[in-house]
Amino acid sequence: LVIGTLLTLAVLSVIRHYEHKNPFDLKAAWYGLLVAMSVAQVNGVLNAVLWTAWPTWADYANSILPLLTVGTSLLFVRKLYALSTHFHRYDKTLVLIAWGTLGAVVGYVLLGRDVADRIGTAALLAATSVGLLVTVMSWRGGSTIGTWLMLAYVPQCVCLMWLVAEAFDLVTNRWEMRYFMSLSVALSVPTLMYALSRATHDRKEVALRAGQLPTQDALTGLLTAQAFQSHVQDAYQRAIDTREPVALVLVSVINLERIRATMGDTTAEQCMLRAVIKLHRILRDVDPAARIGTERFAMVLEGVTSRQALTERLVKLVASGLVPLQGLEPEVTLQFQAACVLLHDNPVPPERVLEDLSGVLAGISPRTRRPIRFLEPVPTQAAPLSPTLEVA
């Protein structure tokens, strides 16, 4: 169970590395794999499965793998805490102990087993204590991930202290402690990975948005006008071919320019982001939406059959805009106006539909009481008699 969870975490880290190209994710995957191996080794799984033909290595692996894991773990958290920034000396000590723990493995080759074991135990004890100490320091220093790291390290340390106390006959031996230790080590992996994900989330998110810029708007994450046009064409085709009910809506935040002029660019951008959240509330997961120009959004609403249904949705949007935005002083509201067309009733060609809707929006007064308007179909005119007569 534990091994499955750890392996899944390692695979997820590799997928994350593939997505974000952050080498730290690859290190996290390696760390997860190493912990999985250590847990499997301590509980005898690797001896039974992998090294059945190498009894000498199987014997030594019980001592060596935990050393490798704890050493790597220290190097991992050192990066995570960025200790070198504020605690140079402590950082150097940590590096020294981490590499010392990894180096203690050499003792098993050069020295006798007894001596190497003693060195290994001392290294493990020192490394875990240092790990706990550095976590406490980071926590007290107000690190955002400090709590998570405390959760990862405290159970491990308690278990290790117990095992050491057992070794010195200070407490009675309990066979269950081996499993508690494995569990606490295993628990540290998702916790550390979550901490890593929180620490790097913002940057990854910005990089991801930048990577999607050809098709997505930088600020809102909605589609760009070009990418949206193909959705409009598809919707139009479906409305023509199969009479599928589809609505196209253009929404404008008419007071954005005023907000920009009075409160600056950054506040205007905040307002646009909040406008998008309000827009999402009336859209389904699969409805495409885009930013068209500075203060306009367009969306395709599939499955909307009537004006009534569409109006009800847009009324919600307009009303939500009138709720003052949180955290802005003086109060700011968003004034939405919408122009809509039901493509199955009025199939305006995709090349000019957005233009026509813009025309409708342009015709709405800023002080209107009817902020939702529909693009009306052109009324059928009686054909003049003269061409018929000419043909005749």
Partner 1 sequence: MSLPTTLRRWLSLGWLLWGLTAGIAQAQVDAPIPLDGSITSLQISGTLAVRMESDPSIGIGGISKPTSPGFAPHAAEQQFALRDGHTLWVRLRLQRAPDAPADWTLHLPLPYLDYAALYQPKGKGSWDKQLAGDTTAVAQWTHPALYPDFTISLPETGLHEVYLEVRNFKPVMLPLHLSTQTVRDRQLELENLGLGTLMGMLLMLIGGCTIHYLQSRSTADGWYTGYAVLMAVVTTNACGLSGMWLWPTSPLWSNYAHMALPVLGVGGTLLFVRHLSSLDVGYPRLAKTLYACGLAAMPIGLLTAAIERQTADYVNTVYLTAGPILIVVATLLTWRRGYAVSKWLFMAYLPQALAMLVLVAQMWHLIPDWWQSRYLLVLAIAVTVPLLQQALHARIRERREAQERAKALPTQDALTGLLTAPLLQQQVEHALARARHDGEPSAIVLVDVVNFKFLRESYGDAVAEQCLLRAAVKLHRVLRDVDPAGRLDSARFGMVLDGVHDRQALTERMVRLIASGLIPLPGLKPEVTLQFHVACVLLSEVIPHPQTILEELGNVLEGISPRTRRPIRFLEPATTQPASLSSMHGTSGEMPTQPNA
- Kindly tell me which residue out of 92, 113, 203, 258 binds partner 1, with binding defined by CB under 8 A: 203
Q: Is 2 in the site for partner 1 (CB under 8 A)?
A: yes
Residue 36 CA to residue 160 CA, distance in Å, equals 18
Q: How far is the CB of 295 from partner 1 (least distance, A)?
A: 9
Nearest to 235 by CA among 350, 314, 345, 341: 350
For the chain, the straight-line distance linking the first and the last C-alpha, in angstroms and rounded, comes to: 88
Strands 296-302 and 336-342, sheet pairing: unpaired
**Of 284, 367, 369, 370, which lies in the binding site for partner 1, with binding defined by CB under 8 A?**
284
Strands (E), the chain: 246-253, 289-292, 296-302, 336-342, 372-374
By CB under 8 A, residue 205 contacts partner 1: yes
Instruction: Select the residue interacting with partner 1 from 55, 112, 293, 349 (CB under 8 A).
Output: 293
CB 333 within 8 A of CB 324: yes
Answer whether 63's CB lies under 8 Å from 115's CB.
no
- Cα separation, 140 vs 125, in Å, equals 23
Residue 263 is a binding residue for partner 1 (CB under 8 A): no
Q: Does 234 bind partner 1 (CB under 8 A)?
A: yes
The minimum distance between CB 74 and partner 1, in angstroms, equals 18
Q: List C-alpha distances in Å: 84 to 78, 123, 128, 131, 176.
A: 8, 22, 19, 15, 38
Q: Are 169 and 116 in contact (CB under 8 A)?
A: no
Site map (CB under 8 A) of partner 1, residues 140-179, x = contact: ----------------------------------------
Per rule CB under 8 A, count of chain residues that contact partner 1 = 64
Choosing from 8, 262, 306, 368, the residue that interacts with partner 1 (CB under 8 A) is: 8
Residue 50 in the binding site for partner 1 (CB under 8 A): no
Question: By the criterion CB under 8 A, which residues form the site for partner 1?
Answer: 1-9, 11-12, 15, 45, 48-49, 82, 84-86, 88, 199-200, 202-203, 205-207, 209-210, 213-214, 216-221, 224, 231, 234, 238, 244, 264-266, 269-270, 272-274, 276-277, 280, 284-287, 291, 293-294, 302-303, 326-327
